[in-house]
């Protein structure tokens, strides 16, 4: 072979393939790159840039990695709901979405965010939850008024629906796809379909109850009903339903757990994590249950003390003591992977895939730590100093716990209004959003 042709192939295989009308092969080669490498390749030459653009390689890269990165899926939903134009014509959309990851990381590290608020109304919010598209508020009501749920567009903060529910107060609330699951003090559970705006399921597993915790994931709906078995003792009745469709949910199993009450129930791609407390006990029991059928596969009894704050996310357990000692655990083995001391006491603690946020109910600051990487955990390297986020709103007794993901911290302030009428008062709630993508 001519040496000059050998050098030509070695120098620029992409341009040579395009020159020979073998664009699909050139695109296939570049499709294996990550976002940093793809960005560098765009700068090589006009031919490389056009190959990447015409092959829609940024979109292919986004689709490939978004399956294992929920943050990217949330970013896409945000753009869809905020968009004022046809997103299919935006050829730079997926490149910008991937670049947002880097901006978010920098903003969290430096504590940069935009602050906005919205008046929820003269109502008292008891629970607030969100997904990639919506924010849901469960409203406290008087005994004569049915409880209700407000549904807002998360990114425009516009009200979308107002759902009137059961007479009792709400104990738990979850949004799963287009379904809303809501439980009430008397054990009633309602399921709404947001597409039809109708109740598609209503059931009550126990007639006399003390508390109800629900969770829907992996095509299962788990109902944990707490029943008083003595002056201070509680038993738990668990019902597992298979969600075959919004209109068909079939009971697959039931279980009784004596002397324990479910205080928290969450899930990830591998497990349901069930946290159980007992009257007079010093420890919270953690059960990891199968995502396939909710059978218990592991149980830990001495990781969480009753006064600890705790959270579970993506196979990690984090605990925070009232003295400010934070620990990260491997819940499968019960091994503490890391321990460090916060400068303040803690009674609210939340965990995401990348961050830990702590707050004290009498303080006006959030404390944020980057979640240590697997390598840092192996070396027992402590996280960097926390980022303190000062807030102007005080935490009230009636305020629901804050929620957050990798884009936003959201909390609701509930305040009592002075009406000037003796023995008469009303509540007003304000939504506060800290957005780490906007500045």
- Give the tens place of pLDDT for each residue, 277-311: 988 888 999 999 999 999 999 999 988 999 999 99
Q: What is the mean pLDDT of residues 47-64?
A: 89
Q: Which of the four pLDDT bands, split at 50, 70 and 90, describes residue 169?
A: confident
d(CA 116, CA 119): 11
- Which range has the top average pLDDT, 21-30, 90-99, 286-295? 286-295
**Percentage of the chain modeled with pLDDT above 70:** 86
To which residue do tokens 């009501």 refer?
141
Residue at 136 is within a domain:
no
> What sign does the dihedral 281-284-289-293 (CA atoms) show?
positive
Whether the Cβ atoms of residue 412 and residue 125 lie closer than 8 Å to each other? yes
Is position 340 within any domain?
yes
Least confident of 51-60, 195-204, 256-265, 371-380: 371-380
Q: Identify whether 20 is part of a domain.
A: yes
Q: Given CA atoms 100, 103, 107, 109 in this order, what sign does their dihedral have?
A: positive
Instruction: Identify the CA nearest to 374 among candidates 433, 330, 421.
Output: 330
Question: Would you say 431 and 120 are in contact if contact means Cβ atoms under 8 Å apart?
Answer: yes
Instruction: Look at residue 1 and tell me if it is in a domain.
Output: yes
Task: Kindly list the distances between the CA atom of residue 45 and the CA atoms of 12, 37, 413, in Å, as whole numbers in the listed order.
Answer: 10, 14, 54
Domain annotation covers residue 24: yes
The total of other beta-carbon atoms located within 10 Å of residue 338's CB is 18
CATH of the domain at 37: 1.20.1280.50
Amino acid 50: pLDDT: 92
Give the residue with greater pLDDT, 245 vs 206.
245
Domain count, the chain: 2
pLDDT of 10? 53
8 A C-beta contact, residue 350 and residue 357: yes
Average pLDDT estimate for 235-245: 95
Q: Quick one: pLDDT at residue 129?
A: 96
Q: How much is the pLDDT for 398?
A: 61
Q: How far is CA 25 from CA 39, 48, 224, in A?
A: 19, 13, 55
Question: Containing H/E element for 336?
Answer: strand 335-341
Give the pLDDT band (50/70/90) at residue 3: very low
Neighbours of 309 (CB within 10 A): 20
Q: In this predicted structure, what is the pLDDT of residue 279?
A: 80
Provide the residue range defining the domain that includes 42: 1-55
Domain of 343: which CATH number? Answer: 2.40.10.480
């Amino acid at each position: 072979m001519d040496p000059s042709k050998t050098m030509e192939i070695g120098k620029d295989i992409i341009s040579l393939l395009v020159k020979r009308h073998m664009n699909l092969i050139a695109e296939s080669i570049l499709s294996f790159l990550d976002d940093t490498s793809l960005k560098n390749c765009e700068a090589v030459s006009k031919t490389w840039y056009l190959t990447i653009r015409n092959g829609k390689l940024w979109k292919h890269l986004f689709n490939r990695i978004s399956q294992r990165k929920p943050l990217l899926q949330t970013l896409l939903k945000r753009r869809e709901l905020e968009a004022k134009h046809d997103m299919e014509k935006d050829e730079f959309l997926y490149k910008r979405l991937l670049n947002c990851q880097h901006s978010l990381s920098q903003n969290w590290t430096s504590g940069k965010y935009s602050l906005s608020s919205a008046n929820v109304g003269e109502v008292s919010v008891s629970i607030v939850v969100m997904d990639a598209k919506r924010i849901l508020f469960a409203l406290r009501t008087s005994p004569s008024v049915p409880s209700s749920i407000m549904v807002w567009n998360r990114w425009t903060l516009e009200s979308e629906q107002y759902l009137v529910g059961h007479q009792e107060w709400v104990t738990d609330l979850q949004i799963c796809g287009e379904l809303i699951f809501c439980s009430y003090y008397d054990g009633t559970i309602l399921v709404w379909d947001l597409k039809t705006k109708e109740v598609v399921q209503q059931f009550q597993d126990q007639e006399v109850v003390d508390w109800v915790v629900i969770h829907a994931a992996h095509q299962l709906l788990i109902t944990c009903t707490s029943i008083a078995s003595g002056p201070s003792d509680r038993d738990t009745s668990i019902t597992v339903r298979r969600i075959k469709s919004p209109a068909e949910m079939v009971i697959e199993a039931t279980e009784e757990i004596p002397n324990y009450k479910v205080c928290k129930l969450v899930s990830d791609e591998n497990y349901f994590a069930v946290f159980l407390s007992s009257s007079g006990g010093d420890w919270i029991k953690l059960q990891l249950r199968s995502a396939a059928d909710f059978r218990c596969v592991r149980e830990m009894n001495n990781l969480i003390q009753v006064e600890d704050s705790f959270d579970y996310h993506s196979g990690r357990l984090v605990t925070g003591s009232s003295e400010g000692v934070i620990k990260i655990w491997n819940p499968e083995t019960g091994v503490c992977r890391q321990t460090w001391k916060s400068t303040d006491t803690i009674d609210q603690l939340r965990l995401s895939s990348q961050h830990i946020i702590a707050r004290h109910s009498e303080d006006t600051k959030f404390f944020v730590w980057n979640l240590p990487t697997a390598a840092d955990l192996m070396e027992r390297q402590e996280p960097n100093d926390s980022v303190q986020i000062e807030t102007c709103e005080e935490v009230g007794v009636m305020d629901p716990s804050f929620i957050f993901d990798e884009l936003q911290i959201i909390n609701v302030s509930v305040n009592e209004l002075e009406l000037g009428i003796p023995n008469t008062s009303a509540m007003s709630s304000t939504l506060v959003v800290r957005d780490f993508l906007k500045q």
